[in-house]
C-alpha cells in the first residue's frame, strides 16, 4: 500500500463528515422549502445561484412567481393539486424565469410535509437543471411532430394522386383539388377556376377568363369579391409558385372591398395555387385560411400577422396543382373523345330529322330543339324570306331561361350593317366565332337597351354564327350560344355548327323551292277554274274546290256549269287529270277550254267524250283524265250523263240517295274505244239534288273507294232536304279531314 492510498481514507472521512449545512447549501441540486401557498421560506445557495437572484429576494417570494407563465399555470393546475392529493410529485418539468428574461429548464421533485391531522405544513422541493436534456427532448419532440406531419402530408398527397387518377371529368378533378387542398392547409374554403381547354394563342394567362368549376366553404360575398377581381381573381394571380395573400395593410390598400369581406368573415389569408400542366397555366386553386386553424378557438397568431405557409405545405400544394394539371390534360382528352362521338351522333340525328322534315318552319323549330343542349345552350335561327328577316326558332337549353330566348325573338332581328355576329355572318357570308363574351362586347353588339338586358341575362361564354347559304344565295343565319357552365365553343364545336348549317341550308333551299312551286300551282289552278256559276232559273247550284293539304301537291280537278242560251239547257262537267302537279293543273285548264268550245255545237254528253277521244292526239296533252259530262234541262228535268272513267254521281231525293248507273267508257287519253261512249238518260225530279264529285271526296289513304262512296251516301241521307250549299259543306266537313291527300271538286244541283 503506498502513501497515496494510505492518505485517501483520511480525506474521504473528512469529506464524509462534512458539515450537513454545507452539504445542503452547496449540493449539486437546488433545495427549497415553502409554505403550502408557495411562499419560499428556505433556499440553498445552489438554487440562489441558479435563480440569478439574492437569497433576500427569494425568501418570502412566491415560488410559482419565479416560473415562466406556462410553468406557473402547470404548477397551479397540476403540481399544487398533486401535492395535496398524493403528497409528492416527481419529475415535473418547470422553467425558472431568470431576471434577464431567459428560462432555466429544471426537473422538480417535491414532497408535502403534513401534521398529524393531515394538514399541510411545508413543501420541500429539489430542482435539477436540465438545459441540454430539455433541448434534446424538444428536438426529439419536434422531429417526432415533423415526422408525423410529413407522414400526414405524404398520405394526403398519395390519396389526392389516386383520386385524381380516378377522375373522369373536369369537375371530379376540380372537386378533388378543392377538398385535398383544403385538408392540406386546414382551409375553411376552397375554389377552383379553370381556363378553357383550348385557349387562343398569344394571350396573357392572367387576362383570360376562368370558369368556376368547383367550390366549397366560400361565402357568396367572398366569391363575388373574387369574381369582381377579374373573373377568378386574375388580378391576384401572378406567375410563379404558391402565394399567400394575407389580410393586412397591403391588401387593405390595394383591395379594400376584398379585405373588408375577409375581415368580416375572419379570413386571415388567401392561398393561391397555380394549376398547371407542363408549365402551361390551366387554372387556379384558391384556399381560404381562417384567422385561426381551429374553428372557433382564439388563434395563437397575433391578429394581422398571418403566419406564412410552411415550406412543406407550400411544396405539397404546388405538387397538388401540378398533379391536377396533368389530370386535367388527361380528362380533357378523354372528354374531347366523348364529345367527338356525341357530335357525330348529333349530326346523324339532325340529318334524320331533316330527312323527315315537312315545312321550313317546322324543320328549323325541331332542329333548334335538337341543338340544345346537345350542341349549345342557345340556338337561334334567322331566315331571309321575300318579306325580309324572320326568326322562326329561338330555343334555350334551360327551360327557366326559355323566356329570354323568346324575348330575343321580340327585341332583336338581324339588320344589315350591325356589329352583331349574326349580322356579320349574314353580311360577310362567313362563320363568326366569338370566343369571349365581355361586358364591352355585349354593349357593342346590342341593338338597344332591351336587347342588352336580355344578352346580359343569358350569361353566355361564347357564340358562333354561321350563314345559311345555297348556291351562293344567303338564306339565313344559324346562331349558337354557349353558357358559362359549358364554356366557350371549341374549334370542333364550330365545325359541327358549320356542318349543321350546311344541312339546314339544303333543307331550307329545297323547301323554299317547293313552297314557291306549290304557291304557283295553286295560283294557276285557281285561275283556271271557272268563276262562280251564273244563276240559272229553276236550279240551285253549289260548287266547291278544295286543294290538297300537303306540300306542293296541286290537283288537276275541275268542274264547269254552263247555261246554253239557245235551248235553255245547262251543260255540266266534273273531271280529274292524272297527277298532282303544275302540269296536271295546266291540262285541266286546257280540257275546260276545249269543253266550252265543243259546247258551241251543243253535242250530247257522249258526243263530247267521243270528240275528246278523237282529237286527243291533236291536243297534245300529256296526261290522261277522267270526266263526267252532262246536260240538264231545268224546265223538264231531262238529264243526260256520260262518263269517261269517272265516278257516277249521286242522286238525292226525298225518298233516299243512290248512285246513278252511268256506264263509264275509257278515260280521256286512253287508247280509243271500239264503241262510242254510252249515255245515261233520265229525269231529275223537282226537289231532287244531283251530286257530282271527284275521287278526292271518297278516297283516302286509310279507306278504299267503296267505303268512301258508302260514307258519302250516308252523309247525304243524314241531311235529306238540305240545299246544295249546305249539302256541299256537310260533305266536305264530314268526309274530308284537315289532311287531304288529293284535291276535291264538288258540284251539287237541285231542281226547284
Partner 1 sequence: MSVVARNRVRISGAPQGRPMLFAHGFGCDQAMWRHVAPAFETDHRVVLFDHVGSGGSDLSAYDPVRYGSLRGYADDVVEICRELDLTDVVLVGHSVSAMIGVLAVRAAPELFGALVMVGPSPRYVDDGDYTGGFSRADIAGLLDSLDANHLGWSAAMAPVIMGNPGQPELAEELTNSFCRTDPDIARQFARVTFLSDNRADLAGVAVPTLVLQCSEDAIAPEVVGRYVHAQVPGSTFVQLAATGHCPHLSAPDETVAAIRGWLSVPAGRTRA
Handedness of CA 138, 144, 147, 151 (dihedral sign): negative
* Residue 68 Cβ vs partner 1, minimum distance, rounded to whole Å: 6
* Residue 97 Cβ vs partner 1, minimum distance, rounded to whole Å: 10
- 94 or 384: CB nearest partner 1: 94
* Residue 321 Cβ vs partner 1, minimum distance, rounded to whole Å: 28
Report which secondary-structure segment, H or E, holds 540: strand 539-546
* Residue 186 Cβ vs partner 1, minimum distance, rounded to whole Å: 12
Distance CA 155, CA 664 (A): 98
* Residue 140 Cβ vs partner 1, minimum distance, rounded to whole Å: 8
For 676, residues 6+ apart whose C-beta sits below 8 A from its C-beta are 606, 610, 665
CA distance readout (Å), 517 to 215, 354, 468, 513, 524: 59, 20, 21, 6, 10
- 78 or 158: CB nearest partner 1: 78
CB 88 within 8 A of CB 124: no
Distance CA 415, CA 423 (A): 6
The DSSP bridge partners found for residue 470 are 473
Handedness of CA 435, 440, 446, 449 (dihedral sign): positive
Q: Say if residue 473 is exposed, middle or buried (CB neighbours under 10 Å; 0-12, 13-18, 19+).
A: exposed
Report which secondary-structure segment, H or E, holds 711: helix 705-718
Question: Which residue in 562, 458, 563, 471 sits closest to 508, CA to CA?
Answer: 471
Chain residues that interact with partner 1, rule: CB under 8 A: 36-38, 62, 64-65, 68-74, 76-78, 80-82, 84-86, 88-95, 105, 134, 137-138, 141, 292, 294-302
Distance CA 352, CA 346 (A): 10
- 138 or 430: CB nearest partner 1: 138
Q: Say if residue 514 is exposed, middle or buried (CB neighbours under 10 Å; 0-12, 13-18, 19+).
A: middle
* Residue 317 Cβ vs partner 1, minimum distance, rounded to whole Å: 24
Q: How would DSSP label each residue in 55-72?
A: HHHHTTSBGGGGB-HHHH
Question: Which residue in 395, 416, 408 sits closest to 474, CA to CA?
Answer: 416
* Residue 126 Cβ vs partner 1, minimum distance, rounded to whole Å: 15
* Residue 138 Cβ vs partner 1, minimum distance, rounded to whole Å: 8
* Residue 137 Cβ vs partner 1, minimum distance, rounded to whole Å: 6
* Residue 32 Cβ vs partner 1, minimum distance, rounded to whole Å: 17
Question: Which residue in 304, 469, 318 sits closest to 384, CA to CA?
Answer: 469
Residue 84, classed as helix, strand or coil, is helix
CB 105 within 8 A of CB 93: yes
- 67 or 571: CB nearest partner 1: 67
- 68 or 361: CB nearest partner 1: 68
- 133 or 519: CB nearest partner 1: 133
- 66 or 478: CB nearest partner 1: 66
- 297 or 355: CB nearest partner 1: 297
Lookup result for grid cell 325580309: 388
The DSSP bridge partners found for residue 659 are 650
Phi/psi zone of residue 614: left (φ > 0), alpha (ψ -120 to 50 degrees), beta? Answer: alpha
- 35 or 599: CB nearest partner 1: 35
- 71 or 421: CB nearest partner 1: 71
Handedness of CA 44, 47, 52, 57 (dihedral sign): negative
- 92 or 747: CB nearest partner 1: 92
- 21 or 298: CB nearest partner 1: 298
* Residue 89 Cβ vs partner 1, minimum distance, rounded to whole Å: 6
* Residue 304 Cβ vs partner 1, minimum distance, rounded to whole Å: 12
CA distance readout (Å), 690 to 151, 658, 684: 104, 10, 8
Amino acid at each position: 500500500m503506498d502513501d497515496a492510498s494510505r492518505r485517501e481514507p483520511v480525506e474521504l472521512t473528512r469529506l464524509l463528515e462534512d458539515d450537513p449545512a454545507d452539504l445542503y447549501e452547496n449540493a449539486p441540486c437546488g433545495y427549497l422549502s415553502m409554505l403550502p401557498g408557495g411562499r419560499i421560506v428556505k433556499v440553498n445557495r445552489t438554487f440562489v445561484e441558479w435563480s440569478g437572484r439574492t437569497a433576500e429576494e427569494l425568501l418570502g417570494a412566491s415560488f410559482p412567481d419565479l416560473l415562466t407563465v406556462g410553468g406557473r399555470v402547470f404548477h397551479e393546475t397540476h403540481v399544487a393539486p398533486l401535492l395535496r392529493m398524493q403528497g409528492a410529485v416527481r419529475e415535473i418539468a418547470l422553467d425558472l424565469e431568470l431576471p434577464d428574461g431567459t428560462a432555466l429548464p429544471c426537473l422538480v421533485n417535491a414532497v408535502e410535509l403534513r401534521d398529524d391531522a393531515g394538514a399541510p405544513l411545508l413543501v420541500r422541493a429539489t430542482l435539477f437543471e436540465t438545459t441540454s436534456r430539455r433541448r434534446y427532448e424538444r428536438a426529439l419532440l419536434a422531429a417526432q411532430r415533423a415526422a408525423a406531419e410529413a407522414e400526414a402530408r405524404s398520405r394526403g398527397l398519395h390519396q389526392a394522386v389516386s383520386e385524381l387518377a380516378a377522375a373522369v371529368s373536369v369537375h371530379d378533378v376540380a372537386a378533388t383539388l378543392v377538398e385535398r387542398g383544403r385538408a392540406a392547409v386546414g382551409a375553411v374554403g376552397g375554389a377552383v377556376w379553370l381556363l378553357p381547354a383550348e385557349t387562343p394563342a398569344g394571350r396573357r394567362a392572367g387576362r383570360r377568363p376562368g370558369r368556376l368549376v368547383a367550390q366549397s366553404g366560400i361565402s357568396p360575398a367572398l366569391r363575388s369579391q373574387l369574381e369582381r377581381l377579374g373573373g377568378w381573381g386574375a388580378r391576384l394571380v401572378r406567375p410563379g409558385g404558391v402565394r399567400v395573400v394575407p389580410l393586412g395593410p397591403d391588401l387593405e390598400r390595394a383591395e379594400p372591398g376584398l379585405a373588408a369581406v375577409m375581415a368580416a368573415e375572419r379570413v386571415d389569408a388567401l392561398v393561391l395555387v397555380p394549376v398547371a400542366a407542363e408549365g402551361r397555366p390551366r387554372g387556379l386553386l384558391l384556399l381560404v385560411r381562417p384567422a385561426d386553424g381551429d374553428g372557433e378557438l382564439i388563434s395563437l397568431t397575433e391578429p394581422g400577422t398571418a403566419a406564412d405557409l410552411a415550406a412543406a405545405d407550400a411544396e405539397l400544394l404546388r405538387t397538388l396543382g401540378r398533379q391536377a394539371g396533368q389530370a386535367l390534360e388527361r380528362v380533357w382528352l378523354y372528354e374531347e373523345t366523348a364529345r367527338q362521338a356525341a357530335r357525330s351522333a348529333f349530326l346523324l340525328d339532325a340529318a334524320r330529322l331533316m330527312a323527315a322534315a315537312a315545312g321550313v318552319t317546322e324543320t328549323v323549330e325541331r332542329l333548334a330543339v335538337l341543338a340544345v343542349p346537345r350542341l349549345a345552350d342557345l340556338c337561334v335561327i334567322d331566315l331571309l324570306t321575300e318579306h325580309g328577316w324572320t326568326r322562326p326558332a329561338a330555343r334555350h337549353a334551360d327551360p327557366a331561361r326559355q323566356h329570354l330566348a323568346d324575348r330575343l325573338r321580340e327585341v332583336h332581328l338581324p339588320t344589315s350593317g350591325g356589329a352583331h355576329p349574326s349580322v356579320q355572318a349574314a353580311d360577310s357570308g362567313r362563320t363568326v366565332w366569338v370566343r369571349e363574351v365581355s361586358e364591352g362586347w355585349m354593349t357593342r353588339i346590342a341593338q338597344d337597351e332591351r336587347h342588352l338586358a336580355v344578352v346580359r341575362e343569358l350569361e353566355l361564354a361564347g357564340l358562333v354564327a354561321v350563314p345559311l347559304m345555297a348556291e351562293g344565295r344567303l338564306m339565313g343565319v344559324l346562331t349558337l350560344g354557349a353558357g358559362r357552365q359549358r364554356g366557350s365553343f371549341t374549334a370542333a364545336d364550330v365545325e359541327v355548327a358549320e356542318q349543321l348549317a350546311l344541312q339546314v341550308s339544303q333543307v331550307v333551299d329545297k323547301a323554299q323551292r317547293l313552297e314557291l312551286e306549290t304557291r304557283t300551282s295553286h295560283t294557276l289552278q285557281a285561275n283556271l277554274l271557272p268563276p262562280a256559276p251564273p244563276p240559272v232559273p229553276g236550279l240551285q247550284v253549289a260548287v266547291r274546290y278544295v286543294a290538297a293539304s300537303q306540300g306542293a301537291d296541286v290537283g288537276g280537278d275541275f268542274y264547269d256549269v254552263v247555261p246554253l242560251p239557245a235551248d235553255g239547257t245547262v251543260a255540266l262537267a266534273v273531271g280529274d287529270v292524272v297527277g298532282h302537279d303544275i302540269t296536271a293543273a295546266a291540262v285541266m285548264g286546257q280540257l275546260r277550254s276545249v269543253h266550252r268550245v265543243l259546247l258551241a255545237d251543243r253535242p250530247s254528253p257522249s258526243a263530247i267524250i267521243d270528240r275528246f277521244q278523237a282529237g286527243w292526239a291533236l291536243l297534245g296533252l300529256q296526261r290522261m283524265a277522267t270526266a263526267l259530262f252532262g246536260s240538264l234541262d231545268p224546265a223538264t228535268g231531262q238529264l243526260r250523263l256520260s262518263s269517261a272513267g269517272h265516278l257516277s254521281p249521286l242522286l238525292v231525293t226525298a225518298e233516299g240517295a243512290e248512285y246513278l248507273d252511268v256506264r263509264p267508257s275509257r278515260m280521256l287519253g286512253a287508247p280509243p274505244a271500239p264503241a262510242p261512249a254510252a249515255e245515261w238518260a233520265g229525269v231529275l225530279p223537282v226537289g231532287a239534288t244531283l251530286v257530282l264529285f271527284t275521287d278526292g271526296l271518297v278516297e283516302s289513304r286509310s279507306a278504299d273507294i267503296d267505303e268512301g262512296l258508302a260514307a258519302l251516301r250516308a252523309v247525304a241521307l243524314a241531311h235529306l232536304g238540305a240545299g246544295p250549299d249546305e249539302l256541299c259543306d256537310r260533305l266536305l266537313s264530314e268526309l274530308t279531314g284537315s289532311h287531304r291527300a288529293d284535291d276535291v271538286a264538288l258540284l251539287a244541283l237541285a231542281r226547284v
